Structure 1
Amino acid sequence: MTMDSDAKRGDNLQRDELATFQDELDSANKVQQKSQQVEVSSEHGRETGRNRNFFKSLFNALKGIFLVLVRERNMRFHVGFALVVLAGGLYLGLNRSEWLWVVIGVFLAIYGEFVNTVVEAVIDLMVDKRYHPLAGLVKDVSAGMVLVSVAAEMVILFIIFQPHLWHFFGIQTDFSRFIHRLKG
């Protein structure tokens, strides 16, 4: 008799577990359906839900890049500097591996500025125009991150452009001669 009652108890436990699992699936489906619905912010009257398709996501990403370029003076400086580096690299005839390092260096600084802008915006949103020492610390560290990424960019660009510029101005060193012998 205990075997039958144990089997019934086991069956009841399995049914309870299945019912609990089904309830969890139903609630997850409800949450997913709610997240797919268009949510509109009552304060600003704009959509706050997820993007429904790739092109909407792409549009929002491009809008974000445009807004950073318009609002952030330092980002405009980084992009302008990147264009100068691009022109200089084309003029001096950098090879493929040199371009790789130049691109890494330039985008490292631009990426750092993007992250800094996001951090500052989130901190401003959180503290709502009140001073908080931790908010100041986070903003300072974020700005320091940009400074470090720009320093890394400058080191990379100096290493890449130095032999080309010295050769361009007629300054001969063993390294600049070696670089230009590699080019043929």
Structure 2
Amino acid sequence: MSFFKGFLYAFSGIIHCIKNERNMRFHTVAALYVLIFARFFHFSRGEYILLLLTISSVMVLEAVNTAIEELCDKVSPERDEHIRHAKDAAAGAVLIAACFAAVIGVVLFWNGEGWLAALHFYGSHPWHTAALMILSVLSVLYIVFGVSRSSKTKQH
């Protein structure tokens, strides 16, 4: 397999997770909003690194959880206690990461000045406010309904 094909397969896996997993869509939207509002908080380089590592850890674990669930469903479509434990453990890993991400988010964003700066910016830029409102509606639709599932992922 060529180096380039490896990247194509990896991107295909990411797209598969986004198309088929509502939680992954939720995480992508949450990451987008975190990054949109982070600019108002004047985080240090270390805080930005922590933010990016936190976002990526949740999304990586969600992708691994999806892979484990799909493999388990393929290997053992019938109910099996060991398969259930494996799937529960993978889901638990995502939950742990998401809970710690929420705590880190609260700690980093617990700053009234940052929220006031965001409020001032959006209050004085109506087009940005309108764009944010439209993005919010589109985000809910994206999370709930996903994206087109018409294309099948080719196996390699």
1:57 aligns with 2:6: yes
The letter for the 2-side match of 1:101 is L
Report the TM-score, using the length of structure 1 for normalisation: 0.59
Aligned in 2, Cα 1:93/1:120: closer, same or farther, shift over 3 Å? same
Tell me the equivalent position of 1:157.
105
CA contact (8 A) 2:58 2:98 kept: yes
Q: What are the Cα deviations for residues 8-54 of structure 1, in whole angstroms up to 9, with x where unaligned?
A: xxxxxxxxxxxxxxxxxxxxxxxxxxxxxxxxxxxxxxxxxxx2x11
1:167 aligns with 2:113: yes
Tell me the equivalent position of 2:143.
none
Aligned in 2, Cα 1:152/1:169: closer, same or farther, shift over 3 Å? closer
Count of residue pairs the alignment pairs up: 116
Structure 1 residue 169 displacement after superposition: 5.7
- The answer to which structure, 1 or 2, has the higher relative contact order (CA under 8 A, 6+ apart) is 2
Report the TM-score, using the length of structure 2 for normalisation: 0.69
Aligned in 2, Cα 1:78/1:97: closer, same or farther, shift over 3 Å? same
Q: What are the Cα deviations for residues 97-156 of structure 1, in whole angstroms up to 9, with x where unaligned?
A: 1101111111111111011111101111110x2111111111111111110010111111
C-alpha distance in structure 2 between counterparts of 1:78 and 1:66, whole Å? 14
Tell me the equivalent position of 1:13.
none
Structure 1 residue runs of 5 or longer lacking an equivalent are 1-50, 171-184
Say which one has the larger Rg: 1
Aligned partner of 1:75 among 24, 40, 60: 24
| 1:4-153 correspondence to structure 2 within 5 Å | 51=1, 53-127=2-76, 129-153=77-101
How many percent of aligned residue pairs carry the same amino acid?
29
